[in-house]
Structure 1
Amino acid sequence: MTVENLQSQRTNVASGLPPLNGLKAFEAAGRHLNFRLAAEEIGVTQGAVAQQVRGLEQTLNAKLFERLPRGLALTEEGRKYLAPVQRAFRLIEDATDEIRPQQAVLTLSVTPSLAGKWLVPRLGAFLQSHADLDVRVVAGEGLANFQSDGVDIAVRQGRPPFGPGLTAELLFPFEVYPVCSPALQAGKHPISKPEDLARQVLLHDAHGLWPLFLEQTGVAEPMAMSRALKFSQTSLALDAALAGQGVALASDPLVEDDLAAGRLCRPLEITMKSDMGFYIVAPRSPRNADHVKRMRDWLIAQSRADRELN
């Protein structure tokens, strides 16, 4: 036992209170009924927990545990004492939380593909420049319920309006084009014109845009002749493209990093434009207006920087 702990114990005893370290050790051991697990939780040795509990028992002149071959059992005195000690610790925790400055939290809901392919690799920069704000990212396809889900701001793919009382600001236009791995393009059946897609596996996602893309390019045969792999999310179709399993349709924010790194390539310089887009969606009167504004401004700045690079 350190000098500081001994002095603290003497002070507590003199004031009628048992030693705090002994109470902490007793409470943890009472929950786990095991000195080793209590020691791991508190961050001390098993021997220290046992010593602190013995010291508490001596102070109280009461036996709190039965020492068993495979653990502990609370005595009648121990059971009576444990509940009020736990309540006291909860009161201290609650009082501490009330006066301790709380870290601000912003909850951002975003589609899984955009989260994994675009947002997450850039999010560290936001956290560095907004150190006072914790960010919680929720990945989902459906539009968040801003009242019941605790979501502050969302990014969704679609067409506005997204609902009454919501604002929608364009983050990225939705323009798709074929992508594949360089190894597939350099293989036995390279793609130089849309008709060459007939020899490839077309990787479909939940948006099902391949028929519309082929129709707009004036080619109907490849759809009937080519094989298909279907995925529930765009990110899975892109992972298959990265693995050389076929050709996927993608938009800039989802593949710009892979294109720049040479992991994917564009075999055809054909782009299909759409009236859909990725939109920043938020309530007109958000709960945390300043936090929402900071995230919205950062998202737009990232989008603008990406478009300037391209």
Structure 2
Amino acid sequence: MSEIPGKLPSLNGLKAFEVAARHLNFRLAAEELGVTQGAVAQQVRGLEAQLGMALFERLPRTLALTAEGRRYIADIRRAFEIIARATNELKPQAIKLTISTTPTFASKWLIPRLPEFTALHQDLDLHILATERISNFAVDGVDLAVRYGRPPFGPGLNAELLFEQEVIAVCSPLLLAGRNPPRTAEELAAYPLLHDAHNLWPEFVERHLANSRSPSFKGISFSQTAHAIEAAIAGQGIVLANAGFVTDDLAKGRLVRIFEARLRGPSDIYLVWPRYRKSSARETVIDWLFAEAQKEDAAEGEPIVP
């Protein structure tokens, strides 16, 4: 059975003592506490009377702690820290949830949509793990992954299609200034082509621009699709990109679409998560991701540069 403490000193007096001990000045303590200097001095005098000893030496322009005051303040500060920590721990803690995704999906699709999600779900603390490496659900502490590929992704995992990868050709309107957009492979060869690690340009040209000639193409290669898209926005060439990754750029006129043709990517984008690890927070995020993907499907139909 825990011991019942004796009568505690005035908590207001203890707080006034702690603040005055930090400033060694009743006026500055009063400013921090939002009371008068006289009220602080009175609280400290009342505490000293309860304890039966002086805690401060009153000097002409400052205060000095007595030996008893120095010994007492160390324990009082620890007590206030314990109270503050206990109070903070009573507050509802945000639920942490880690999403593993590629850097391009994170920067071009997920992050632009996050402000709306965080405004609606302030109780969730999302951690975005953007990496080309496939994360391990057990080792990396991942709750949900966005992955390119085809199921199955592994034993014990659920996989749901978020959206199919539909690749379109886009560029900055600045690149086309004063010129007609390309319509043939020969015309396309006059423009720099921006490549990413998927390198879909050869397939795009063969499927949609095949003719008797095979012109040589110049271009720049990037390890990440996001960088190739940013280069296109900067007017450095034409890029093949997942339509979902350039929706905002097309809507705001940073990019324009130059061919009607679409190319189905070699893999699609799936949500993947552990089958037997239940989480209401993860279900909330999954539902939101699917709703955002459906919005995009409904808004599809980018105009083609004539």
For normalisation by structure 1, the TM-score amounts to 0.71
Q: CA deviation at 1:287?
A: 4.7
Asked whether the equivalents of residues 153 and 280 of structure 1 are also in contact (C-alpha less than 8 Å), the reply is yes
Could you say if the C-alpha distance between residues 103 and 194 of structure 1 is closer, same or farther in structure 2, counting changes exceeding 3 Å?
A: same
Q: Which of 234, 247, 253 is matched with 1:243 structurally?
A: 234
- Write the distance in 2 (CA, Å) between the matches of 1:34 and 1:164: 66
Which of structure 1's runs of 4+ aligned residues deviate more than 6 A?
46-49, 51-58, 73-79
Residue aligned with 2:115, SS: helix
Could you say if the C-alpha distance between residues 243 and 150 of structure 1 is closer, same or farther in structure 2, counting changes exceeding 3 Å?
A: same
Q: For residue 299 of structure 1, what is the aligned residue in structure 2?
A: 289
Q: For residue 16 of structure 1, what is the aligned residue in structure 2?
A: 9
**Mapping 1:1-310, distance limit 5 Å:** 15-17=8-10, 19=12, 20-22=14-16, 25=19, 29=22, 59=47, 61-62=54-55, 84-131=75-122, 133-141=123-131, 142-188=133-179, 190-217=181-208, 218=210, 221-222=214-215, 224-228=216-220, 230-288=221-279, 290-310=280-300
> Once the two structures are superposed, what CA deviation does each residue of 1:64-113 show, in whole Å capped at 9, x if it has no partner?
9xxxxxxxx99987875565445423422342244333343433333332
Residue aligned with 2:165, SS: strand
Q: CA deviation at 1:162?
A: 2.9
- Write the distance in 2 (CA, Å) between the matches of 1:84 and 1:209: 69
> What residue identity is the alignment partner of 2:9?
G
Farther off after superposition, 136-145 or 121-130: 121-130
Could you say if the C-alpha distance between residues 190 and 54 of structure 1 is closer, same or farther in structure 2, counting changes exceeding 3 Å?
A: farther
Residue aligned with 2:189, SS: helix
- Write the distance in 2 (CA, Å) between the matches of 1:116 and 1:94: 37
> What residue identity is the alignment partner of 1:260?
A
> What residue identity is the alignment partner of 1:238?
I
Q: CA deviation at 1:212?
A: 4.1
- Write the distance in 2 (CA, Å) between the matches of 1:163 and 1:77: 67
> What residue identity is the alignment partner of 1:140?
A
List gaps (5 residues or longer) in structure 2. 1-6, 49-53, 58-63, 301-306
Asked whether the equivalents of residues 22 and 55 of structure 1 are also in contact (C-alpha less than 8 Å), the reply is no
- Write the distance in 2 (CA, Å) between the matches of 1:77 and 1:209: 78
> What residue identity is the alignment partner of 1:160?
P
Could you say if the C-alpha distance between residues 265 and 93 of structure 1 is closer, same or farther in structure 2, counting changes exceeding 3 Å?
A: same
> What residue identity is the alignment partner of 1:25?
V
Q: CA deviation at 1:192?
A: 1.7
Could you say if the C-alpha distance between residues 246 and 55 of structure 1 is closer, same or farther in structure 2, counting changes exceeding 3 Å?
A: farther
Asked whether the equivalents of residues 170 and 257 of structure 2 are also in contact (C-alpha less than 8 Å), the reply is yes
> Once the two structures are superposed, what CA deviation does each residue of 1:208-235 show, in whole Å capped at 9, x if it has no partner?
333443454448945x44132x333222
The structure with the larger Rg is 2
Q: CA deviation at 1:279?
A: 1.1
Q: CA deviation at 1:178?
A: 1.5
> What residue identity is the alignment partner of 2:106?
A
Residue aligned with 2:256, SS: coil
List gaps (5 residues or longer) in structure 1. 1-13, 65-72
> What residue identity is the alignment partner of 1:231?
F
- Write the distance in 1 (CA, Å) between the matches of 2:73 and 2:127: 39
Asked whether the equivalents of residues 171 and 303 of structure 1 are also in contact (C-alpha less than 8 Å), the reply is yes
Asked whether the equivalents of residues 174 and 273 of structure 1 are also in contact (C-alpha less than 8 Å), the reply is yes
Asked whether the equivalents of residues 169 and 259 of structure 2 are also in contact (C-alpha less than 8 Å), the reply is yes
Asked whether the equivalents of residues 55 and 65 of structure 2 are also in contact (C-alpha less than 8 Å), the reply is no
% identical aligned pairs? 42
Could you say if the C-alpha distance between residues 22 and 199 of structure 1 is closer, same or farther in structure 2, counting changes exceeding 3 Å?
A: farther
Asked whether the equivalents of residues 158 and 274 of structure 2 are also in contact (C-alpha less than 8 Å), the reply is yes
> What residue identity is the alignment partner of 2:231?
A
Residue aligned with 2:246, SS: helix
